[in-house]
Amino acid sequence: MKIKKFFVTLVVLFFIIIFDVLFSKLCPFYLRPNLWLVYITFVALFLNHTEAVIVGFVSGLIYDVLHLTLFGINTFLLTTTGYLLGWLNKHVNESLYKVQMLSILLSCIVYNTLYFLISQLFNTTKYNFLILLSVFSTFIVGFLALQILVMLYKKHNLI
């Protein structure tokens, strides 16, 4: 089962890379949905706390490698987001759409707040408030992506 989960995770990461590239071509940076954040939210809600931290770290690392950002910033942000959202695991009813939507919104808020704080600490990166617009696209696309992820994991009896 663990091996199956590992391969499904790899496939999901691969598709997230593809869609990330696609969205980076289609949308400007302030309208680009953050699919990594959606996946971390999914893992935090439906899998477990530890996996949310690990997936957060791996996703952040991939994001940092593929995007020309300050190396390590997204690793830190997504790991922290994964850890904080992980506390919701088994404390909320994840099958409710309201919970799912609120979780995505919460992850966006946590991510952007941390990003803002980090940008105040490091002079090399500046927080662009336009990026707040991406919360809407992440919320809409993320909710749909979350349903697909739930279906995929349920189909393979992983949740």
Partner 1 sequence: MTIRDFLRKNKPTSLFIFFTLLSIIFLSTETITKQVHSIRVFLIYFFSASYLPVYKIVSYPFDTFDKFVQLSYLYEENLKLKQLVKKLYVDKLYYDALIEEKNILQTVNKLSKKTGYKLCPAKVISRDYKSWYDECVILIENFSSVTKDLPVVVYFPPDKFYFVGRIWDVEKNVAKVLLVSNPLSMLPVKIKNKPVYGVLIGESSVKLSMDYLLLEDDVKIGDIVVTSGISNIPEGIEIGKVIDIDISSTGFKKAVVKLSYNINALKNLIIIFP
Q: How far is CA 124 from the centre of its chain?
A: 24
Fill in the per-residue mask, 114 to 143: x = in contact with partner 1 (CB under 8 A), - = not in contact.
--------x-x-------------------
Give dist(CA 60, CA 77) in Å, integer: 7
The sign of the CA dihedral 44, 48, 50, 54 is negative
**75 binds partner 1 per the rule CB under 8 A:** yes
Stretch that binds partner 1, among 1-9, 80-88, 98-106, 151-159 (CB under 8 A): 80-88
**65 binds partner 1 per the rule CB under 8 A:** yes
The amino acid at 145: A
Question: CB–CB of 49/89 below 8 Å?
Answer: yes
Shortest gap between Cβ of 98 and partner 1 (angstroms)? 25
Fill in the per-residue mask, 84 to 103: x = in contact with partner 1 (CB under 8 A), - = not in contact.
--x-----------------
Residues whose CB falls within 8 Å of the CB of residue 40, separated by 6 or more in sequence, listed in order: 52, 55, 56, 59, 78, 81, 82, 85, 107
**81 binds partner 1 per the rule CB under 8 A:** no
Pick the binder of partner 1 from 5, 30, 31, 49 (CB under 8 A).
49
**7 binds partner 1 per the rule CB under 8 A:** no
Rounded to the nearest 10 degrees, the angle between the axes of helix 35-46 and helix 2-26 is 150
> Which residues sit at the interface with partner 1, rule CB under 8 A?
14, 17-18, 21-22, 25, 49-50, 52-54, 56-57, 60-62, 64-66, 70-73, 75-76, 79-80, 83, 86, 122, 124
